[in-house]
Amino acid sequence: MTESKSNGVATSNTSGSVPLIIQGKDVTTANSFTVRNPAGGDLWQATAASEEDAIRAVEAAQAAFPAWSKTKPAYRRDIFLKAAELFEKRKDELKHYQIEETGAEDMFVDWILPLTVDQLKEVGGKCSSIQGTIPISTEEGRSAMIVKEPYGVILGIAPWNAPWPLGCRAFTYALAAGNTCVLKGPELSPRSYYAIVDIFREAGLPDGCLNLIFHRPEDASNITNALIAHPAVKKINFTGSTAVGSIIAAVAGKHLKPIVTELGGKASAIVLEDADIKKAASACTIGSFLHAGQVCMATERVIVHLSIADSFIAAFKESTNNMYAPSSPAPLFVTGTGAKKTKALVDSALAKGASVILGNPKESTEPDATSCRMRPIILKNVVKGSGLYENESFGPVVAVYTFETEEEALAIANDTDYGLSGAVFTENLAAGLRVARGYETGAVHINGMTIHDENSLPHGGVKKSGFGRFNGLAGLEEFLRSKVVTWKD
């Protein structure tokens, strides 16, 4: 194992293995894994942590906690604002990393990078909002106060698909609240995550407050279990699939540790009969196919009023062909395994009676494990009980349904184990609010696509889409605990 201290100078040099960052130092070990470009070819090696390395990261965060938890809000704020400045300064470098590692298109990266800069400014501004209360004690001659305190060491486990906002929120709110952090980055986009932590190091975050590890896929269970079990780790946050989130929540529960999760989704867009059809079709196109559908809030069901179904479908097809022209390269999955899984769901749905509205069924079902590409496909008649109806596709697939009453539309939208996001399109705000109240989701967007994230608004799901909230004041409160102090007057 070797350690080195970064000189804090931004660089796009990608030679050598992507290091871990522990106690403010770059760390390389004897083990590594290969990072591939979804478009083809190997990119670089990334250092693989052992259990011992993971424990060292926790110990570094634990050692940094006493001093960091006593820092003043203005000190923390200035670090966040400096990090925001560095994100903007290094945006071309960061964009390059994300495209290389995840295959993201320009439109997606150009959205989430400014979103992340805004997050850092937003969180920086909230550092001074932490406050307790002084309630009136019911006992005569006694007074009380409630103070808010950080937990200690927070373990953040973040996904590959939107490294900047999702990677940052795994630790920014926790840091702002006075906690220290271990960030477990994904093996599919390690250089993107290294850049995030390097930016905070350059921004002046004290050594040990934020530590970064990666590991080989085969080591995931042992290392994750060791991190969660460590007595210094007081809370966990996880963003990723429902299947993995269930496992991590179970391990956290075994050790009686709280956890915040944002998991899978099966978002619906309900199009009422008075909707602006072209605007709704455009929003459904982007909501369904942005980043090859590899977004937890992606639109997977479009539920349109029967009276406008033909007009909407025509507009939906036109919008999809304009944005994702058949002559352009097909959207990229991050791995061939993901593409194969989504194509298998489409193939199974077609075998159970689904039909194609737009797309080439052969191209969208060919189980080629080596291919990371898949063109958008719009289906209808996807029946309950099929894999595509029940499960998140996490790909460029959407199914269209029709309804005649709002109750029918909501019954279809809510007929899922997930509940992260939803949308409704209408020119009648009262109708939109009425439908929003009937949705079983963490968020509903009226006349906007299901993919929506604002740093000032709490973000999270219901049912199997997770629990707890990221973002906003709610996101800050997740990483603070209450302490009651009483005294005799």
Q: Between the CA of residue 186 and those of 46, 158, 322, 417, 443, what are the distances in Å?
A: 11, 7, 33, 26, 26
Q: Alpha helix locations (H) across 22-105? A: 51-69, 73-89, 91-102
Cα separation, 193 vs 168, in Å, equals: 9
Cα separation, 298 vs 275, in Å, equals: 20
DSSP 3-state of 24: coil
| Bridge-based pairing state of the strands 397-403 and 377-380 | parallel
Cα separation, 367 vs 306, in Å, equals: 34
For 4: left if phi > 0, alpha if psi spans -120 to 50, otherwise beta; the answer is beta
Secondary structure element (H or E) that encloses residue 270, with its range: strand 267-271
Closest-CA residue to 61 (of 157, 181, 172) = 181
149 is catalytic: no
262 is catalytic: yes
Which residues are CB-neighbours of 212 under 8 A, at least 6 positions away? 20, 21, 22, 57, 182, 183, 185, 193, 194, 197
Cα separation, 320 vs 379, in Å, equals: 13
Look at the block and give the residue holding tokens 């040990």. 208
Given a contact cutoff of 8 angstroms between Cβ atoms, the answer to whether 357 and 378 are in contact is yes
Here the tokens at position 237 are: 């946050």
State the catalytic residue, choosing from 262, 300, 392, 477. Answer: 262
Here the tokens at position 269 are: 């867009």
Distance, CA of 15 to chain centre:
28
DSSP 3-state of 40: coil
Look at the block and give the residue holding tokens 């052969």. 362
State the catalytic residue, choosing from 59, 296, 372, 478. Answer: 296
Here the tokens at position 489 are: 């007057």
Backbone phi, psi, residue 229, to 5°: -75, -20
Please report how the helices 91-102 and 106-126 are oriented relative to each other, as an axis angle in degrees rounded to 10.
Answer: 120
Given a contact cutoff of 8 angstroms between Cβ atoms, the answer to whether 193 and 214 are in contact is yes
DSSP 3-state of 148: strand
Q: Between the CA of residue 10 and those of 94, 115, 331, 339, 356, what are the distances in Å?
A: 11, 21, 31, 34, 48
- Residue numbers annotated as active site: 262, 296
